[in-house]
Structure 1
Amino acid sequence: MLTHTLALLAVVLYLAAAGGLARPLLSGGKPLNRLSLGLAGIAVLLHAGILLGMHRGALDLHFFAALSLVAFVVSLLTLLVNLSRPVAALGVIVFPLTALLVVVDSFLAPPTLPMPMDWQIKLHVTVALIAFGVLSIAAVLAILLAVQEWALRHRQFGPWLRALPPLTLTETLLFRLISAGFVLLSLTLLTGVLFVDNLFGQHLVHKTVLSIVAWLVFGVLLYGRWRHGWRGTRAVNLTLIGMAVLALAFFGSKFVLEMILHRLP
């Protein structure tokens, strides 16, 4: 099947891109950023074709399809971030995870049919996916920031640390992404209020409440950064807490309904 062939090729390219980006992190060798990002770009295009082919060109929000779709968005955003602020370690983490989710969605997940949606719901879902993707990259950067700070405190100056961008650049990019993600998450909540019927109804109440909680966590973090200069461990912890809550909002009920109760929404 053509889709399976594209999936295998995308997986190989994602992993090759991650390997090229990991080279300076592991050995201090010459970076292969341009080649690696080119391979990742082709993988992202193939991934888009896989999603269109497998899910009939529609937004399929069943559990594994949604995971693959989110991985596609995160990988695409990782490429865009690297075009302006090269952070090779982002791809080292993101691209292998995306490859794994492509394998699961293409070869292991049961077939599903996309549910029909009005354009208003598609707009709401699209904004939500982009918000989740931006904040996911922020969470990865928060982990990298924590690792950098730990290594500096313990004087662990390996080649992988020297290959990472300066700490101040990582922190600046982190808060820019959180700011953008916060705006997009605000738009997600707004479009939900405007377009989603019975937002606090069955199967939606926990998503709504958890999304609001995540929005508050990121809002508090941005306020603390602006008013009190929060950074370091506090910023990392709040970023990861906010992202964990948001992940529960996006995928918590889907996992319970589809994987445990075996009920399709």
Structure 2
Amino acid sequence: MSASFLAPIAALLYLAAAGLHVMHLFQHRQGLSRGVAVLGGLALLCHSVVAIQGVTGAGGLSLGFYKISALMFLAINLVCVLLMLKRPLQNLLVVLFPLSAMSVLVSTFAPETAAITTDLPGGLLLHIGSSILAYAVLTLAAAQSALVAAQDYQLRHRHTRGIVQILPPLQLMETMLFELLLVGVILLSVAIVTGFLFVDDFFAQHLVHKTTLTLLAWILFSVLLWGHYKLGWRSQVAVRLTLAGFAALMLAFFGSKLVLELVLNRG
């Protein structure tokens, strides 16, 4: 089936799953219901087809600003589902599913902004793959940090209803945050190393700003992990550094692509 047919279906399924999950949260139901799992699973299947069709074609890869969005959110959702087998991260789906709905529609119906890339060596594919996985895990970490911030604020002000009743205990929420950060930093380290090894001439390819911001994000995340395990940093410090690192990472990826492809027309 074509992406133009499946994208609206995927978007509707995502929105239905998100709406059902929100309704269950208001009813204080724990875990992920079967209805949300079924709707979300069908949405992921449609999303997978849309993302693959969007970035492949004409014997190469299309990694333009709009096309890559569906692939990024597919990776984020798949990582989230995988981690949900061990950790209660289902509350993140309230944010991820609507954003995923938007990503499949944008990827399918927005114009192409980059040329098809052919003959990519294995080392460069490793760099691209590790970069996407790193962005996926660290996006989950940023979303998790926002929940930690809201929960910590509610507890500090002695509010015992609302989000406090929905989320797991704060200590578990922080543990999950630092687990995500650790995995994300490892993947980001692989992406950085493979980038230096397999990407030629950062200046000629207009990658210097992307590289600088990515390294800044890596430093912020690494300092946070060191501070947590050595000095016991938690809560608000963790939230601030996580969101700062995520902002740098998103500017590195989407900011640089936006300027190059949409402003300077350099696909």
What is the TM-score with the length of structure 2 in the denominator? 0.92
Q: Are 1:60 and 2:71 counterparts?
A: no
CA distance in 2 between counterparts of 1:14 and 1:40 reads 6
For residue 95 of structure 2, what is the amino acid of its counterpart? I
Partner of 1:172: 175
Q: Which runs of 5+ in 1 are unaligned?
A: none
Partner of 1:88: 90
Partner of 2:37: 37
Tell me whether 214-223 or 63-72 shows the greater mean CA deviation.
Answer: 63-72
Please report how far the alpha carbon of residue 21 of structure 1 lies from its aligned counterpart in structure 2 after TM superposition. Answer: 2.0
Contact 1:87/1:164 (<8 A) preserved:
no
Q: Which runs of 5+ in 2 are unaligned?
A: none
Contact 1:192/1:199 (<8 A) preserved:
no
Please report how far the alpha carbon of residue 210 of structure 1 lies from its aligned counterpart in structure 2 after TM superposition. Answer: 1.0
Partner of 2:71: 69
1:88-167 paired onto structure 2 within 5 Å: 88-110=90-112, 113-116=115-118, 117-167=120-170
Please report how far the alpha carbon of residue 61 of structure 1 lies from its aligned counterpart in structure 2 after TM superposition. Answer: 1.5
Q: 1:146 to 1:59 in 2, by over 3 A?
A: farther
Contact 2:51/2:104 (<8 A) preserved:
no
1:8-23 paired onto structure 2 within 5 Å: 8-23=8-23
Contact 2:144/2:177 (<8 A) preserved:
yes
Partner of 1:194: 197
Of residues 260, 263, 266 in structure 2, which corresponds to 1:264? Answer: 266
CA distance in 1 between counterparts of 2:55 and 2:3 reads 11
Q: Are 1:219 and 2:222 counterparts?
A: yes
Q: CA RMSD in A?
A: 1.9
Please report how far the alpha carbon of residue 60 of structure 1 lies from its aligned counterpart in structure 2 after TM superposition. Answer: 2.4
Instruction: Render the CA deviation track for 1:164-196: whole Å, top value 9, x for unaligned.
Output: 111111110100010001111111111011111
Q: 1:112 to 1:7 in 2, by over 3 A?
A: farther
Partner of 2:25: 25
Please report how far the alpha carbon of residue 160 of structure 1 lies from its aligned counterpart in structure 2 after TM superposition. Answer: 3.6
Contact 1:4/1:107 (<8 A) preserved:
yes
What is the TM-score with the length of structure 1 in the denominator? 0.92
Instruction: Render the CA deviation track for 1:119-154: whole Å, top value 9, x for unaligned.
Output: 221111000000010000000000000000111122
Q: 1:112 to 1:198 in 2, by over 3 A?
A: closer
